[in-house]
Structure 1
Amino acid sequence: MRFGRHLALTGALAGLTGIFFTALPADQALAHGGLTYPATRTYACFMDATGNTGGGALNPTNPACAQALEEGGIYAYYNWFGNLISDADGRHREVVADGELCGPTESFAAFNAPHDEWPTTELQSGAGITFRYNAWAPHPGTWYQYVTKDDWDPGRPLTWDDLEPLPFDEVTDPPINGEGPLGPEYTWEATLPEKTGRHIIYSIWERSDSPEAFYNCADVVFTGGQSGEDTEAPGAPGAPVATGATADSVQLEWPAAEDNVRVTGYEVRDAAGEVVATSTRTATRVTDLEPGTDYEFTVVARDAAGNRSAPSEPVAVTTGAARNADHCEVDYRITSQWSQGYSAEVRVTNTSGQAISGWDLEWYFLGDERIASGWSGTFEQSGKRVTVTGNGSIAPGASASVGFNADTQRPADEPDYFVLDGTACGTVA
């Protein structure tokens, strides 16, 4: 149904303009989207130019939008949901240059220009918000929302140093449960930071099934707020629990903190007190760790007024061994999916010079998966940890495969760290 609607709209706009979507690589065409509330510049200008109809000829009345159309042409208007870099691979500060955050590619460069009259969305400082993000082509991933610092200069193009160093909101795989003027939308609840006046909310959508990432600038005006009124810090969160430690990451979960108004997020800190991860939920994955290393983490809660709690009790973590592609290699493939589950095949290749017999393979699920059935091996699951005992031996250079069906309420997310008989394997990209 979504596919048919996409074709119908594409055809309608193509007939009106004579040209429409520039041909994109196959992977790049799989997922598109953008903030509709608060409205990103490209979405706000497209709606302004079409009289809020989403169709017809382009005739922007907003001066900033008219300037963007004159300087950049129609591509960024009819492809307002395609403000992306296809091979970002999480390297946002590396692939997006200062001054080009709102339009990191040539097609969207006109939206980097500072202008007093970009369309704005009025927001209540420190209040709750329902973010809305058009799901033109849905895919799993994580959304990060940043906001500009109090002393940023709206008279020059946005730079990374203009943003607060940590996102005030982060969400992974939000539901598609909204309907907007241009189709289905992701929606999720968050709490806005305490700010006053004009700012930019900068959104990054980082796909988990490809290196593609989307970049949105939403111009907002903060009003009201309770800054200076709430001076009571939240209570400390409960002690975190670590699961799924790999060579370079670990999953942390903790009991929620309590606050007299509302807890808006959490900071994970290392033994030196440095913030290594943030989350608006009571769980996150800490990344960029060193293999075979001991760590200690605590969690601090924060509220809308910026008050921070005392740290939680610490949790000790030891990361896994470095991967050894000369011993084994694992290829994990999702072979089919449905609304509440999927099937997967896991192929283990012996890359050593000796036969592997009586082997056990271990990994941790990243979501809420539960093994429903398996074949060609004996499966055991405890929480997120899965162990499968294979049948027979694996000769040097040979492979063995197991498969399973899993139940899940979330999009499938492939694990990428596997341990075979105590040795971390290399993985097939």
Structure 2
Amino acid sequence: MNKRQWICAASALSMLGSGNVFAHGYIKQPEARGYLCKLGENSQCGAVQWEPQSVEGYSGFPQNGPADGQIASAGLAQFSPLNEQTVSRWAKRPITAGPTNFTWRFTANHATRNWRYYITRPDWLANQPLNRAAFELVPFCVVDGGMQQPPQEVTHNCDVPPREGYQVILGVWEVGDTPMSFYNVMDVMFADVSTPPDPSAWQAKGMLYPSIDLQVGDQAMTRVFDASGERSDLQTRLQVETSEQGQRNQWTYLLASRINQQQSQLKAGQRGSDGAIQPVYGQNSLFARADSGIQRIEVQIDKATAPNHDLLVDGLQPSYRIRGGQLRLEFNVTAVGALQISSYVYDHDGNAKGFAATELDNNSQPLSIDVESPVPGHHQLVVSAKVVGSEQVLQKTFDMMFVADDGSASYDFTFPDGLRSYTAGTRVLQPKTGQLYQCRPFPQSGYCMQWSAASTQFEPGIGSHWQDAWIAD
């Protein structure tokens, strides 16, 4: 157990003993980066989209706490996508300098030492990983927690320093009775107060997500709706002509650019500090003029007719014998097309008992799965394959029985040991299947010795003509 695991375990025991629960919480307003993942306004976020309340790391920032480059994730590997940092990667919330409310939402509140708020320096580098050098290390706002449990929501009114353009604010909730804190970053955009507001006021009505890579021939298009229904006259369509255009950050940029070129009531991109909306490589907001009557904008992807793909599985047996408390499944998978293949073993109650994975492109490969704590009874092997570059999934499911080793079975050799000694009646254990096989009587017994790594047609239980030489025992 490492130091962090030991501390967490000790803290957990002390909290259980005192009747407390683990702390969890996130900044609800302005929405933190992870919370916007949950809301769907940030994409490709990983696990944080399901638990924005869990971005927890060691206390002590800036002297201690998460390492540089891992501040946004609090140093947790499962939340590492939060550490990606470019000027266009994340959705931004408008903000102005001066009194600003910051609202925390607690899903499990806790005795609190304090809350602290930090902001990036005016000259920070927005395309570099977030590090301590990017922040003013003296917090612009500190709220004492008094070592008390806060209510389920708490709001702090803080005086935000003046800044220009895109900035990051880091909120830290330091828990009082554990060595941990919660780290939330907020991506904000300071408005250019010298620029008068645009009377046509562009309003966000949708989002263009870099969700998947597209293939040549695929199309992406906008669908625009007002109170009367869909406006086909405002549709913008992009057909992918090269593999480079199909890359997720590329086609979103191209479609956003085409919207801005073709439409006068729509815009796509990210809004700058001067209010201008420019396309970016990646996630783009979709805007409509406030006076257009447009209520929402959706993006639809039409996939070109996909080439034929298939998943083939062979080499399986209807039953397998557990020997010495162990069992290994061995089988072959064949991909027609480019496939990402995952194989799972489940017992009758649906508990996972083993896993193997590979990626194939119009070729075959043997796979093996060591079954965890095998027990006699009905089991299933599920082999699924995701078509590379597509959302298409293929699946094959196979039923099989695991049989207990009653101790009565014995054998002369583990195949192919002692190959030249095989005669009629010789019993061998096939390690690839866990099955026993008996060499057939003369004259077929001569086939039992006919095996090599390059010539496997008579391999027991595996070869294409194994039944000419062997009897399953």
> Which interval holds the TM-score relative to the shorter structure?
0.3 to 0.5
Answer with 1 or 2: which has the greater Rg. 2
Q: Which structure carries more relative contact order (alpha carbon 8 Å, separation 6+)?
A: 1
